[in-house]
């Protein structure tokens, strides 16, 4: 079947800076597909991600690898073969947890596959060693294959009589010689195979020693890389904390900028209100001054009115006095007229009498 994808997700891909070993360098401008692949022919799991036609992740999962969550949406792992540290930024904590679960699952599968492979190698090498050891301890000889001379030829005593037909005795001897040559050839072949197996055993022993040395070196390298990864995780955690703090500060700055903008708008509104209040104050002062002028004028008018009222009262008093005088004059005049009338009547009577 070859190599097939078994799980895929999308994330932003980062790699550790090879110069500083501290900062993250983005290898994709946007979120890309990150997939787990399984190679059934080699029984190998890999993490592969492509940005266009460029492979930005090509990491083979080994039992020594560890996927670490450094934040709610970010995780990383170290690849000693690629001599780098990969980082993935996910859109949610759920995607990160799912990727980490798959990583642990395929890591365990890789460990089991490695153990089975080692068991097969041990089972394959054990029978070869035993067969080689048996050949060394009891090497094959013509006698062990064909038997001794006594076993190959029947006992012939002095008292036994010769066979009547010599031609019949020559045929078994020639047949036995052919069989002996055949077994000698087989013996030579077995000796050659024995020598090859012995050389292979010695080579395997040397390879095992070399593999053990390489394994010890790999373990030391893995321990060193693990320590380095731990240091990088600490640095990454600090960097993530700084990044989180920076993000919070940026959010705070944005909030303060928005608040400042609102305050500036409020200040502009207050300035307009102050200008309107100043205009109203000026109008109020103008009206107050006019009111004062009107009050002064009212006071003047009140003074004039008071004078007029006093004059009116005096005039009324004078008129009342005049009326009284006029009434008195009328009364006197009436008396005088009455007297004149009586006088006229007296005169008339006198005239009549005379």
Are 26 and 12 in contact by the 8 Å Cβ rule? The answer is: yes
Q: How far apart are CA 211 and CA 189, in angstroms?
A: 32
Which residues make beta-bridge pairs with 13? 88
pLDDT digits 0-9 by tens, 204-230: 677 677 677 767 777 777 767 766 776
Residue at token pair 């940005």: 51
pLDDT digits 0-9 by tens, 284-337: 888 888 888 888 988 888 889 888 889 888 888 888 898 899 899 999 998 999
Specify the 3-state DSSP secondary structure of 64: coil
- Position with higher pLDDT, 124 vs 52: 52
Phi (first) and psi of residue 86, to 5 degrees = -95, 145
Q: Which CATH class is domain 5-119?
A: mainly beta
Task: With CA atoms as reference, report the closest residue to 42 among 89, 70, 3.
Answer: 3
At 14, the pLDDT band (50, 70, 90 cuts) reads very high
Specify the 3-state DSSP secondary structure of 66: coil
pLDDT for 147: 41
* Tokens linked to 120: 């097969």
How many angstroms separate the Cα of 265 from the Cα of each of 89, 186, 275, 318? 39, 107, 15, 76
* Tokens linked to 291: 């009111």
CA dihedral 208, 209, 215, 217 (to 10 degrees): -160
Ranking 63-67, 117-121, 149-153 by mean pLDDT, the lowest is 149-153
Helix axes 166-353, 93-137, angle to 10 degrees: 170
Other beta carbons within 10 angstroms of residue 341's beta carbon come to 10
pLDDT for 108: 93
């Amino acid at each position: 079947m070859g190599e097939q994808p078994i799980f895929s997700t999308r994330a932003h891909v980062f790699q550790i800076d090879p110069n500083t070993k501290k900062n993250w360098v983005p290898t994709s401008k946007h979120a890309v597909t990150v997939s787990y692949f399984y190679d059934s022919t080699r029984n190998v799991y890999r993490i592969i991600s492509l940005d266009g036609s460029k492979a930005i992740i090509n990491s083979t999962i080994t039992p020594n690898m560890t996927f670490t969550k450094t934040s709610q949406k970010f995780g990383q792992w170290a690849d000693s073969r690629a001599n780098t540290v990969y980082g993935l930024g996910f859109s949610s904590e759920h995607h990160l947890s799912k990727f980490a679960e798959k990583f642990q699952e395929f890591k365990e599968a890789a460990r089991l596959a490695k153990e089975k492979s080692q068991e097969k190698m041990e089972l394959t090498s054990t029978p070869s060693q035993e067969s080689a050891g048996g050949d060394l301890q009891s090497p094959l000889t013509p006698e062990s294959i064909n038997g001794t001379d006594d076993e190959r030829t029947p006992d012939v005593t002095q008292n036994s009589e010769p066979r009547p037909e010599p031609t019949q005795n020559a045929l078994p001897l020639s047949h036995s010689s052919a069989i002996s040559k055949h077994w000698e050839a087989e013996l030579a072949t077995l000796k050659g195979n024995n020598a090859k197996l012995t050389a292979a055993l010695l080579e395997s022993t040397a390879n095992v020693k070399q593999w053990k040395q390489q394994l010890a070196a790999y373990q030391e390298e893995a321990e060193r890389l693990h320590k380095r990864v731990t240091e990088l995780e600490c640095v990454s955690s600090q960097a993530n904390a700084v990044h989180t703090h920076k993000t919070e500060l940026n959010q705070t700055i944005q909030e303060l900028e928005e608040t400042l903008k609102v305050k500036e708008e409020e200040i502009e509104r207050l300035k307009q209100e102050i200008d309107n209040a100043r205009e109203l104050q000026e109008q109020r002062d103008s009206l107050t001054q006019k009111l004062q002028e009107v009050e002064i004028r009212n006071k003047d008018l009140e003074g004039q009115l008071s004078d007029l009222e006093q004059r009116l009262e005096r005039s009324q008093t004078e008129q009342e006095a005049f009326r009284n005088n006029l009434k008195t004059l009328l009364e006197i005049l009436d008396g005088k007229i009455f007297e004149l009338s009586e006088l006229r009547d007296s005169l008339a009577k006198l005239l009549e009498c005379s």
